[in-house]
Amino acid sequence: MPTRVLFLTLKTFSFTGGIEKVCRSLSRVLYDLSEEELVQSTVYSMYDKNADRDSRYLSKNQFRGFNGNKERFVVQSFLSGLKADVILLSHIHLINIVYFIKKLHPHKRIYLLAHGIEIWKKLSDTKLKMLNQLDKIICVSQFTADKIMEMHHIPSAQLEVLNNCLDPFYYLPGDYDKPQILLDRYHLNRKNLILFSLSRLSSSEKYKGYDHTIELLPKLLEEYPNLVYVLAGKWDLVEKKRLDDLIAINHLQEHIRLVGFIDEAELTEHFLLSDVFILPSKKEGFGIVFIEAMASGLRVIAGNKDGSVDALQNGALGLLVDPDNQEDILYGISMLLQHHQSDEDKKNLQEKCMQAFGYKQYLKSLRNLLLNGKISPTPVEVY
């Protein structure tokens, strides 16, 4: 009898953030395990429409979008949850739905995915009580696990660390040449050295570190006059104004391109355009963008005080810097820019990234969790 799995999400296909990327990869895992007849899976999305479903990840009968109808989503999730063997929650906001299910069926397995800042916040006593009733909290990084133990005093036995994987349909380049179409679009040439950051540019999330990179550009330009910083991501108007002012004060209009939202279809091309990806953040739960960059052969600089450490495998795959130390960031950028990356270097980085964060290992870990209740199977003792 296949294990009946219900996966509850807020958004899966109608948005392109990190949590949504995790939900898509996990949906594909459920599809693959269903094909093996190991699980019988259903995915509910509170905000997606049925038409948002991407057929690469799930079949039509495995997905239901509720188009923002919260009441219907909650009722249907509760009823379906009563019939499931395992319930997966993509976000802590969904924890209320399963509270009474757990009361009625204490042996039903309920797992929460913990990404980062959404679960580090102060929680109500009710939420904490619910959190303690979960069978497992699946943390995307050791940093997230440590934060949950520190802030909410959840015992370590209740936590499992499962790093995010690269999307199984992510476009992996075999040719590492800079795309001419992007050079032309951003008025660049092949003599330019290009720093690249991709992040939501939000006035309420000033911990990503892209403003530190802007402030370092005048010093970097003394040594690298052809340097250009391409800063991408959807902005709000308050943050856009702040960044425009910062660029003007430092007279950097010729050396920065604020390019806005990037379509997923052009993501790999932007990594190929660049010489270094940099995002020295301080509150990253994991940072899927780092593994996307490295899977494209691009060197990465990240902060050493958050989940980025997991994404860079403690510095084995990229350069970790102190996000609060401008000299450390400056030294890191200069060190990488001094050394040209050959196509062979890029291919080696790509292969190492795939070994660490490829989809097959993620599938294996989740198979263990859903069928056996643990990500890593208990080793067999040899006498």
**Are 10 and 155 in a shared domain?**
yes
The rounded Cα 201 to chain-centroid distance in angstroms is: 16
**Are 287 and 326 in a shared domain?**
yes
pLDDT at 382 over 70: no
Mean pLDDT score, 15-42: 96
pLDDT at 309 over 60: yes
Please give the pLDDT value at position 377: 60
Q: Which domain holds residue 330?
A: 180-356
Percentage above 90 pLDDT, the chain: 89
Q: What phi, psi does 171 have (nearest 5°)?
A: -80, 115
Task: Tally Cβ neighbours within 10 Å of residue 380.
Answer: 5
Please give the pLDDT value at position 97: 93
- Rounded to whole angstroms, the Cα distance separating 279 from 93 reads 27
**Are 107 and 217 in a shared domain?**
no
What kind and span of H or E run contains 179?
none
Q: Does a structural domain hold residue 173? A: no
- Rounded to whole angstroms, the Cα distance separating 34 from 5 reads 10
Q: Does a structural domain hold residue 96? A: yes
Please give the pLDDT value at position 319: 98
**Are 287 and 347 in a shared domain?**
yes
Please give the pLDDT value at position 205: 76
Please give the pLDDT value at position 330: 97
- Residues 75-92 have pLDDT tens digits of 999 999 999 999 999 999
pLDDT at 324 over 70: yes
- Rounded to whole angstroms, the Cα distance separating 1 from 3 reads 7
CATH label of the domain that carries residue 35:
3.40.50.2000
The string of DSSP letters for 114-137 reads E-SHHHHS---HHHHHHHHH-SEE
User: 302: closest CA among 327, 276, 268, 269?
Assistant: 276
Tokens of 304: 């050493």
**Are 153 and 271 in a shared domain?**
no
For residues 231 and 210, the answer to whether their CB atoms sit within 8 Å is yes
Task: Tally Cβ neighbours within 10 Å of residue 154.
Answer: 20
Mean pLDDT score, 216-238: 95
pLDDT at 173 over 50: yes
Q: Does a structural domain hold residue 382? A: no
Please give the pLDDT value at position 380: 40
pLDDT grade, residue 198 (50/70/90)?
very high
**370-378, long-range: CB within 8 Å, 24+ apart, which pairs?**
370/3, 370/5, 370/33, 370/38, 370/39, 370/86, 371/3, 371/38, 371/39, 373/109, 373/135, 373/136, 374/160, 375/138, 375/160, 375/161, 375/162
Q: Does a structural domain hold residue 126? A: yes
**Are 99 and 14 in a shared domain?**
yes
- Rounded to whole angstroms, the Cα distance separating 72 from 45 reads 11
pLDDT at 180 over 90: yes
List residues bridging with 110 in a β-sheet: 87
**Are 201 and 327 in a shared domain?**
yes
Mean pLDDT score, 239-261: 93
Mean pLDDT score of the chain: 94
Tokens of 239: 């943050």
Least confidently predicted of 287-291, 338-342, 374-378: 374-378
**Are 58 and 155 in a shared domain?**
yes
- Length of the chain equals 383
The string of DSSP letters for 39-82 reads EEEEEEESS--GGG--TTT--GGGEEE-TT-HHHHHHHHHHHHH
Q: Does a structural domain hold residue 277? A: yes
Q: Does a structural domain hold residue 381? A: no
- Rounded to whole angstroms, the Cα distance separating 17 from 37 reads 30
Number of domains forming the structure of the chain: 2
**Are 332 and 217 in a shared domain?**
yes
Q: What phi, psi does 105 have (nearest 5°)?
A: -130, 80
Percentage above 70 pLDDT, the chain: 98
| pTM, rounded to two decimals | 0.94
Tokens of 105: 């069926």
**Are 219 and 95 in a shared domain?**
no
Please give the pLDDT value at position 381: 42
Tokens of 360: 């097959």
For residues 115 and 18, the answer to whether their CB atoms sit within 8 Å is yes
Q: Does a structural domain hold residue 170? A: no
**Are 228 and 301 in a shared domain?**
yes
**Are 145 and 186 in a shared domain?**
no
Q: Does a structural domain hold residue 325? A: yes
User: 278: closest CA among 305, 310, 318?
Assistant: 318
Q: What phi, psi does 299 have (nearest 5°)?
A: -70, 150
